[in-house]
């Protein structure tokens, strides 16, 4: 493993910021630390870097315990959210800064700068100062400076938070391409779920200083460990049900709940894509009114209102919407093809502690 945290905790003035967090990052992996603001993810990143010392637990880099090793000795590149470029230095001098600190030879420094300028698409900008660069260019200079000494680990704290949406998307794609070329173990902090899902190999979700779940983007989206993860990653319909006669019921909806006692409360969750909608009122069991349609580009988000007043969210393509002749205010039929029973706890649960249900095919369903 490239990086490992073992029961790491950090307190500030008696307030717990990180509570017994353990996970490992593989060599060459691109890992996202994801969570709400104030959840502890940046503190975890700073402990890996050596900018904060754990109150308890161990941080290991390539098998070596580094709790008492300085930042300079950890061979880590760190990129701050605000770039932290030297305003009085041009691009070349910013990139060269760490190399001079490490006493690289002048010829090697010039060669390394030329390599990075080409790799990062910064050729022709080497004499410019930070205030003469765009936000995206400044971010690339900051990452080039961090990578110049050839660190074994690259840490990025909210790397794209200071640029607009279009540049942020371009930088995401660029980071993935760069990572595949360099294969440097990379950890980046973000509170942007879409960014984490799009860019990372695996995601560590942290909330309230605790590890909520770790897994691939598909795993945390399709198999959330608990209700917090289900709501935080993407959009989730969550319903409070009560078991009666082997069925978890809410309003007119029923979900199989075999072997559960009557009166048992269950939290049922399902993604919008699990709700199938048809303009044919005989296609599916349940009926609702298409209350509102939201345009999202390629996809449309539909809001359904059931006779009981329950509101559900679903999605479909513009083409499917048009073919079916759907309109706001019209009655539709629908089916929920799969759901999960959600744990309430914010701490992570093992997959075997969860229940997943796959509905059998029904008339009109496309498998």
> According to the model, what pLDDT value does residue 29 have?
96
> According to the model, what pLDDT value does residue 263 have?
95
Q: Give, for 165, the enclosing helix (H) or strand (E).
A: helix 165-182
> According to the model, what pLDDT value does residue 162 have?
65
Residue 185 DSSP symbol: E
The two structure tokens encoding residue 168: 């942020």
Question: 273: which residues sit within 8 A by CB, 6+ positions away?
Answer: 314, 315
Classify strands 331-336 and 311-317 as parallel, antiparallel or unpaired. Answer: unpaired
- pLDDT by residue, tens only, the chain of 367 residues: 789 999 999 999 889 999 999 999 999 999 999 999 889 999 999 999 999 999 999 999 999 999 999 988 898 999 887 778 999 999 999 999 999 989 999 999 999 999 999 999 999 999 999 999 998 899 899 999 999 999 999 999 988 876 777 878 888 888 898 888 888 999 999 999 999 999 999 999 999 999 999 999 999 998 898 899 998 998 899 999 999 999 999 999 999 998 899 999 999 999 999 999 999 999 999 999 999 999 988 899 999 999 999 999 999 999 999 999 999 999 999 999 999 999 865 443 333 333 333 333 332 222 2
> According to the model, what pLDDT value does residue 64 have?
92
The two structure tokens encoding residue 350: 């093992």
The pTM of the full predicted model, rounded to 2 decimals, is: 0.83
In whole angstroms, what is the distance from residue 241 CA to residue 74 CA?
A: 51
In whole angstroms, what is the distance from residue 327 CA to residue 332 CA?
A: 10
> According to the model, what pLDDT value does residue 363 have?
28
Phi, psi of 175, rounded to the nearest 5 degrees: -65, -40
User: Three-state DSSP class for 221?
Assistant: helix
Residue 97, CA distances (Å) to 74, 94, 149, 167, 258 in order: 17, 5, 10, 26, 65
Closest CA to 253 of 293, 287, 303: 287
Closest CA to 155 of 5, 55, 33, 52: 33
In whole angstroms, what is the distance from residue 301 CA to residue 62 CA?
A: 46
Residue 198, CA distances (Å) to 66, 173, 177, 189, 285 in order: 31, 9, 12, 14, 36
Find out whether 39 and 209 touch, Cβ atoms under 8 Å: yes
């Amino acid at each position: 493993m490239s990086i490992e945290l073992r029961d790491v905790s950090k307190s500030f003035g008696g307030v717990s910021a990180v509570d017994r967090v353990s996970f490992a990052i593989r060599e060459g992996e691109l890992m996202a630390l994801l969570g709400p603001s104030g959840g502890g993810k940046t503190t975890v990143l700073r402990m890996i870097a050596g900018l904060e010392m754990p109150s308890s637990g161990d941080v290991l880099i390539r098998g070596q315990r580094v709790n008492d090793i300085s930042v300079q000795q950890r061979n880590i590149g760190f990129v701050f959210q605000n770039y932290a470029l030297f305003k009085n230095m041009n691009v070349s001098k910013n990139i060269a800064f760490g190399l001079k600190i490490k006493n690289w030879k002048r010829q090697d420094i010039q060669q390394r700068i030329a390599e990075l300028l080409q790799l990062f698409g910064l050729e022709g900008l080497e004499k410019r100062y930070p205030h003469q660069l765009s936000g995206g260019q400044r971010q690339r200079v900051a990452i080039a400076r961090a990578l110049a000494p050839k660190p074994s680990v690259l840490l990025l704290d909210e790397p794209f938070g200071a640029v607009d949406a279009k540049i942020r998307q371009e930088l995401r794609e660029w980071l993935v391409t760069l990572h595949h070329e360099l294969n440097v173990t990379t950890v980046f902090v973000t509170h942007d779920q879409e960014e984490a899902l799009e860019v990372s190999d695996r995601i560590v979700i942290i909330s309230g200083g605790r590890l909520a779940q770790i897994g691939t983007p598909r795993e945390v989206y399709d198999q959330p460990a608990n209700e917090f993860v289900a709501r935080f990653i993407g959009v989730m319909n969550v319903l409070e049900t009560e078991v009666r006669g082997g069925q978890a019921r809410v309003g007119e909806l029923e979900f199989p709940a075999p072997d559960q006692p009557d009166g048992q409360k269950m939290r049922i969750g399902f993604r919008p894509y699990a709700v199938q909608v048809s303009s044919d009122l005989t296609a599916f069991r349940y009926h609702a009114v298409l209350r509102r349609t939201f345009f999202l580009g390629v996809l449309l988000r539909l809001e359904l209102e059931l006779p009981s007043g329950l509101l559900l969210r679903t999605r479909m393509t513009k083409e499917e919407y048009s073919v079916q002749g759907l309109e706001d205010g019209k009655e539709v039929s629908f089916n929920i093809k799969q759901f999960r029973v959600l744990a309430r706890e914010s701490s992570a649960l093992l997959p075997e502690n969860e229940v997943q249900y796959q509905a059998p095919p029904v008339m009109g369903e496309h498998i």
